[in-house]
Amino acid sequence: MRSVEIYDTTLRDGAQGEGISFSLEDKIKIALKLDRMGFHYIEGGWPGSNPKDMDFFKKIAGEPLKNARITAFGSTRRPGIAAGEDANLNSILESGVQVAAIVGKTWDFHVTHALKTTLEENLAMIKESAAYLKEKGLTVIYDAEHFFDGLKANHEYALATLAAAVEGGVSTLVLCDTNGGQLPQDIRDAVAMAAKRFGVPVGIHCHNDVDMAVASTIMAVQAGAVQVQGTVNGYGERCGNANLCSVIPNLSFKLGLETIPGENMKRLTDLSRYVSEVANKNPVAGQPFVGSSAFAHKGGIHASAVLKSSLTYEHMDPELLGNRRRILVSELSGVSNLLYKCKEMDLELQKEENRELLDKIKEMENEGYQFEGAEGSFELLLRKLKTDYREPFRLENLRIIIEMSEDKPANSQTVIKMSVGDKVVHTAAEGNGPVNALDNALRKALDEFYPCIRSMHLTDYKVRVLEEKDGTGALVRVLIESGDGKRTWGTVGVSENIIEASWQALVDSIAFGLLKNQDAPREESEKV
């Protein structure tokens, strides 16, 4: 079976994405995760550019990696400077890595306008830089920056830069679509030509500025590339890089090529969500293969067909990727959607009950509720209607006080009275807004009864005005997403009063979390 090397550059190229800033510990954690997944190369950063990257290389050297080769990134020597005297190249050596990826100019326009040197000097820079690092015992990968643009602008010179890298002793020629503007067929033709011409393994590095990075990467492999460079979730500068969470399963499952170990494919969804969490980015629900919506079915006809055979509306088994099938319930649902959800919850409903419940759900959605993004609220609704489910707590009374003045920021306080079993608790809490104060007071009231509440946290809060013509008195829908480190869930509230809608969603969020944790109130004797 033909194999393809997976080269990850999340820690360098991915970190250049807007809004992403990895700490040193973040980079170490991600690197260890990638190593366990079986990635072949992990590009840790540019040691000559900042102290944090150099610290990364020093710290990761003490970790017992099993699969990946840590790679340092850098550029060719500067014009007019001997390779041995170039600070950038010597920083790579100082990092202690055994693999270096150096980037050089391929497009003659960049040589004359960005580097402001001659075409001949650029060729010498490429060759001498590669030869210097190889002489020091490193494996050298050459990233041919702007290769495809350079090939179109000056065909012979672009190829001459690759020849210079080969003469310098590089192990792999990586062809870069740096501006991300190429179409897949152009990538395919150029890669096929380079792979045949130089007798050195060829890799591909695509950016996603025309939304073609994954397609171009797949075409490059089909044309002969044996290494693919990309990032987890496609993070990167501008529109990002080729998304390895799509590239890997396409190569493995669609083309039958060997990438990472097969047993690790089931951890791909976990990897995607782990990196998004560390990067402080919300996971993209519609991301192919690993997104929460990648195998979600909303229409009644789709759900009915999937229940008979998943092949009807799914291109592969989501469990192979560590993902799962989701049947959504909404006004577009049929009985099949409801049957699937009941099966998930081990509930059995009679046929007439199914139709009655479905009509109820559609009526609620017509009133403004939305259950496809609030499965926590939906499950609670179902259990309240059809089981002996008991509410874990009950509101007796609450009061929200908001103080404002011209010279002081607004302050919110919630006073709340709750019943938990036969116990009553009366407490208060402040917040930076009324909803935050409400959340803090609710948690404070329940903390001694349900210790697991401490691990639950709100991850997203959205408000949607449903009837804009009614202005400030309009009906609003509040969607809350919560998590506890093991799972995430959504809940919904609808009201003309935003505080009441928020309360509904908050209560469902806590109640659903408690249901899944099965954490019963402690007896008085157990309380501290």
The CATH architecture of the domain made up of 5-278 is Alpha-Beta Barrel (3.20)
Per-residue pLDDT, averaged over 33-40, amounts to 98
Give the span between the Cα atoms of 313 and 331, in whole angstroms. Answer: 20
Is 468 in contact with 433 (CB distance < 8 Å)?
Answer: no
Give the C-alpha separation, 47 to 54, whole Å: 5
**Burial classification of residue 320, based on how many CB atoms lie within 10 Å of its CB (0-12 exposed, 13-18 middle, 19 or more buried):** middle
From residue 39, alpha-carbon distances to 102, 211, 228 in Å are 20, 24, 11
Kindly state the average pLDDT of the residues 372-378.
79
pLDDT at residue 464, as a whole number:
85
Pick the CATH number of 394-526 from 3.40.720.10, 3.40.50.2300, 3.30.160.270, 3.40.1710.10: 3.30.160.270
Least confident of 88-92, 315-319, 395-399, 432-436: 432-436
Q: List, for residues 65-82, the tens digit of each pLDDT value.
A: 999 999 999 999 999 999
Report the range out of 66-75, 271-280, 311-320, 492-501 with the highest average pLDDT: 66-75
Give the torsion sign (CA, 211, 215, 221, 223).
Answer: negative
- pLDDT beyond 60 at 503: yes
Q: Please state the rounded mean pLDDT for residues 44-68.
A: 95
User: Comparing 5-278 with 394-526, is the CATH topology the same?
Assistant: no
pLDDT tens profile 298-323: 766 666 677 667 788 899 999 999 99
CA count, 13 A, side-chain hemisphere, 407: 0
Q: pLDDT, tens digit, for every residue of 157-215? A: 999 999 999 999 999 999 999 999 999 999 999 999 999 999 999 999 999 999 999 99
For tokens 């103080």, name the residue.
Answer: 403
Please compute the mean of the pLDDT values over residues 82-103 and round it to a whole number.
Answer: 97
Of 163, 204, 161, residue with least CA distance to 186: 204
Residue 524 pLDDT > 60, yes or no?
no
pLDDT bracket for residue 469 (50, 70, 90): low
> For 133-167, how does the pLDDT look when each residue is reduced to its tens digit (9 = 90+)?
999 999 999 999 999 999 999 999 999 999 999 99
Question: Looking at residue 326, what is its pLDDT?
Answer: 76
109 to 145, 148, 164, 175, 256: CA distances (angstroms): 12, 13, 18, 17, 40
Do 124 and 86 touch, CB atoms closer than 8 A? no
> What sections of 199-250 are H helices per DSSP?
213-222, 244-249
* Residue of 513, 284, 519, 285 whose CA lies nearest to 377: 513
Q: Is 287 left (phi over 0), alpha (psi -120 to 50) or beta?
A: beta
Residue-range domain boundaries for the chain: 5-278, 296-366, 394-526
Residue-level pLDDT at 338: 66
> In the structure encoding, which two tokens stand for residue 304, read together?
């009915």
Average pLDDT value over all residues in the chain: 90
Quote the pLDDT of residue 522: 47
What percentage of the chain reaches a pLDDT higher than 90? 70
Amino acid found at 165: A
The string of pLDDT tens digits covering residues 98-113 is 999 999 999 999 999 9
Read off the pLDDT band of 405 (50, 70, 90). Answer: confident
